[in-house]
Every structure is written in structure tokens, then in C-alpha cells.
Amino acid sequence: MAIREFMAAPPFNKRDLPDNEIEMFDAALTHDSYANEETSRNHTKMSNERLEFLGDAVMELAVREFIYRNTELNEGAMTEIKNSIVCNRNISAQVTKAGMDIDGSLLVGEGHREKRTGNNVVEESMRADAFEAVLGAVYVLYGADEAKRIVHEVFLRGR
């Protein structure tokens, strides 16, 4: 799936992206295995690791703020709820449930492709990391409110 199609779909709903935004989302959807293979071929390709670092913090903040504002729980109980929401297993499951085609959009190295079909083989941690990287890109490009909106839509609605 092309980046423009991926970003036009819910929960992002971003259309008519300028080239600089496409470049950032391209980096967000580039696993380090692909970036490393491209670099070894003398092509420089950024991986999603830096954006994932930022997106992880953005997601944690949005979830922590939601829990703080919507419960009267003590710190330990709030931490347990936060951990259940931001763990890779839950992120991967919710991203899949929301219909985001990260698996088809993520650029991965040969070691993460099925030999027979060429389809991506994306582990739950890779899917979660890629979502966090896209969230980091959303934060950089559109700000905290838009990043929080996405977290609320995918992870916190109905809680």
C-alpha cells in the first residue's frame, strides 16, 4: 500500500500530502532492516527508529493524561492500566483491529519477507513500533492535539 493511501485512511485521514510530509511518513514506515540493506547498497535510507522514540513518548503522554483526567485511581493502578494500553501486544492488536495496513505499508528487509510470496512478515513489535513512528511523525507535522486525537480514536474510545 502506498504511503498516500495509508495516510488517507482512518484514523489519519490525511490527503494531498506535500512531499516533505510524504518523506517523513516514508521514514516512519521504514523498518531498520530495510534501511540497513539500502545503506549497504550505497543508498541512504532513514529508518523509523527516531520517530518511534518520539511517538512512544507521545503515546504514553496521551494515555497517562487520559487516565489521570478520567479516573480517581492511585499511581500503581494508573500505571497498570497505562502499561496494558501501551504494550506492544495491545498496540499491535488495536492497530490491526482499526484496519490500519501497517503490514502492507512497512518497508522491511529481505529477512522479513516470505520467500514464496514476497509478502511482509511483520511481528507484533514491528507493527507497534511502526505505529509509534507514524504517531511521532503526526506529532512533528501536525502537533500534540492531532497525535492525541489518533491515540484516543484507536486506543481510548469507549474507556
Q: What is the pLDDT of residues 63-107, one digit of tens each?
A: 999 999 999 999 999 999 999 999 999 999 999 999 999 999 999
Q: Which residues are catalytic?
A: 56, 132
R_g of the chain, CA atoms, integer Å = 16
Domain ranges of the chain: 3-156
Q: Encode burial over 46-81: b for 16+ CB neighbours within 10 A, e otherwise.
A: bbbeebbebbbebbbebbbebbeeeeeeeeeebeeb
More confident: 115 or 77: 77
27: left (phi over 0), alpha (psi -120 to 50) or beta: alpha
Calculate the alpha carbon distances from 13 to 88, 93, 104 in Å: 24, 20, 18
- How high is the pLDDT of residue 118? 83
Task: Give residues with Cβ within 8 angstroms of 88, minimum separation 6.
Answer: 124, 125, 128, 129
Least confident range of 4-8, 74-78, 80-84, 112-116: 112-116
Residue 1 confidence class, pLDDT cut points 50, 70, 90: low
In the chain, pLDDT over 90 holds for what percent of residues?
83
Give the C-alpha separation, 17 to 34, whole Å.
Answer: 23
Fold of the domain built from segment(s) 3-156? Ribonuclease iii, N-terminal Endonuclease Domain; Chain A (1.10.1520)
pLDDT of 151 > 70? The answer is: yes
Beta bridge partners of 107: 30
